[in-house]
Amino acid sequence: MAKNIVIIGGGIVGLCSAYYLSKEGHQITVIDKGDITSGASFVNAGYITPSHIIPLASPGMIAKGIKMMFNSASPFYMKPRLDAEFLKWSWYFHKSSTKAKVEKAIPVIKEINLISRELFTDIRNSGDLGEFQLERKGLLMLYKTQASYLHEKEVADRASYLGLEVSDLNNSELKKIEPNVNIDAEGAIHYECDGHTTPTEIMPKMLNYLKSVGVNICINEEVIDIKTSNGVIKEVITDKNNYHPDEVILAAGSWSGELSKKLSLKLSLQGGKGYRINVARNTGISMPAILMEAKMAVTPMNGFTRFAGTMEFSGNNNIVRKERVLAIANGAHSFYPDLEINFAEIESAKTGLRPVSPDGLPYIGKSASIKNLIIATGHAMMGWSLGPVTGKLVSELINDKKTSMNLAAFSPERTF
């Protein structure tokens, strides 16, 4: 039976949820506080990453955060602040950063990423969005030091053991696979299992498709209250309209935590800010890469090369810290010495907030206390990669179908 569904949030997760639900014949309204032209879904590295099997909450991360806390240009930055929610989240993050919990998360992260990778291909093959960049060249982990190599080699060996395609490239092999750019690196680990896209190409195409099939897209409209009765959402109130949905999907990214408070839910979530610089000239770069010592990503997208990075916990704001943008530009130059990112490119840098749960795993599932609410957020640095699979899982939950994978690890009710 067709349902009236409100999706709060118009990022990749919200739009993919609308995509799969529209195919089931439901009447869908997507509400977004912005105009769906910016934010994390537009400024990310565009990776599809089965190789990212280690969650953000891993041993040593809190120590790194404390060490870098007073350097606002550092790749992993936690701004010191007396904020009860942030302090509680930090404690949960610390508790989640154990070897045992990481081991438990690894196969789950691999599985959900592989499902999503195939769904990206299915979406392209459907023709619904027309043509868009979707390449499977893999991902290079470029390293300058033996220490970085040995650190990544442990991950690569584990990925290979799990059946993911990985190879080891020395300097001469690296030059063969990336012949048109000078790279200052000792070698690379090549995760052949990965792919990449251009987010600024896919997002508008997805929006246009959804509008064409009757999805109601409400932009520049902020949810200000959500009314419940007997454990059921009865009304979603925005600054422009009132909605009376059968089902609600909370996919508002970093703002999901604030909205969950209106429902008396304890959804621990922090916004992790990332930055990007686009270089719309020939760089010679044809392979996606993570520059290990610089802790940043490089992606050859349609029409430009994107340099992206940092994880900054400083509250839900869009402030662009110039020192962090410069750190990305300098990191790029250190690995590609012939490349100089110019002043105009640095000045046009953008930022976006990624929703980060304490254990680095997304929240995907039904609320235990509110019968008609599904939560889909908290994807950290895997939001783009996991957009399609999250949308598919949401659709399966709404339609009471067997889900494509076990969702226990992603339960919004889990404790830390």
The residues, any chain, with a CB within 8 Å of residue 279's CB and separated by 6 or more, are 304, 305, 306, 307, 339, 341, 345
Kindly state the tokens that stand for 341.
């990112």
Q: What is the pLDDT of residue 4?
A: 98
Kindly state the tokens that stand for 290.
């993570």
Residue that has been written with the tokens 């990749």 in this structure: 12
DSSP state of 243: E
Q: What is the pLDDT along the chain (416 residues), one digit of tens a residue?
A: 899 999 999 999 999 999 999 999 999 999 999 999 999 999 999 999 999 999 988 887 766 666 666 666 677 777 777 888 998 998 999 999 999 999 999 999 999 999 999 999 999 999 999 999 999 999 999 999 999 999 999 999 999 999 999 999 999 999 999 999 999 999 999 999 999 999 999 999 999 999 999 999 999 999 999 999 999 999 999 999 999 999 999 999 999 999 999 999 989 999 999 999 999 999 999 999 999 999 999 999 999 999 999 888 888 888 888 999 999 999 999 999 999 999 999 999 999 999 999 999 999 999 999 999 999 999 999 999 999 999 999 999 999 999 999 999 999 999 99
- What is the rounded distance in angstroms from the CA atom of residue 256 to the CA atom of residue 268? 9
- Of 195, 284, 257, 206, residue with least CA distance to 42: 206
3 state DSSP class of 400? coil
Instruction: Count the neighbouring beta carbons within 10 Å of the beta carbon of residue 395.
Output: 25
Q: Using CA atoms in the order 83, 88, 94, 97, what is the torsion angle rounded to 10 degrees?
A: -120
- What is the rounded distance in angstroms from the CA atom of residue 19 to the CA atom of residue 112? 18
Kindly state the tokens that stand for 137.
């060249």
Report in angstroms the alpha-carbon separations of 6 from 22, 183, 216, 374.
12, 48, 9, 11
- What is the rounded distance in angstroms from the CA atom of residue 177 to the CA atom of residue 140? 10
Q: What is the pLDDT of residue 317?
A: 84
140 within 8 A of 296, measured Cβ to Cβ: no
Q: What is the DSSP string of 157-225?
A: HHHHHTT--EEEEEHHHHHHHSTTS----SEEEEETT-EEE-HHHHHHHHHHHHHHTT-EEE-S--EEE
19 within 8 A of 209, measured Cβ to Cβ: yes
DSSP state of 379: B
Q: What is the pLDDT of residue 72?
A: 66
Residue that has been written with the tokens 């996991």 in this structure: 386
Written out in words, the top-level CATH class of the domain with range 4-410 is alpha beta
DSSP state of 381: G
Strands 304-313 and 223-229: unpaired
- What is the rounded distance in angstroms from the CA atom of residue 43 to the CA atom of residue 38? 7
Beta strands in 304-367 (DSSP E): 304-313, 350-356, 363-366
Q: Degrees (nearest 5) of the Cα angle 55, 248, 84?
A: 50
Kindly state the tokens that stand for 237.
């109130």
Domain segments of the chain: what residues?
4-410
Q: What is the pLDDT of residue 318?
A: 84
- H, E, C per residue of 24-63: CCCEEEEECCCCCCCCHHHHCCCEECCCCCCCCCCCCHHH
The residues, any chain, with a CB within 8 Å of residue 204's CB and separated by 6 or more, are none
Q: What is the pLDDT of residue 361?
A: 97
- Helix axis angle for 61-68 and 84-96, nearest 10°, is 140
- What is the rounded distance in angstroms from the CA atom of residue 292 to the CA atom of residue 290? 6
Q: Degrees (nearest 5) of the Cα angle 72, 74, 77?
A: 65
* Beta-bridge partners for 47: 196
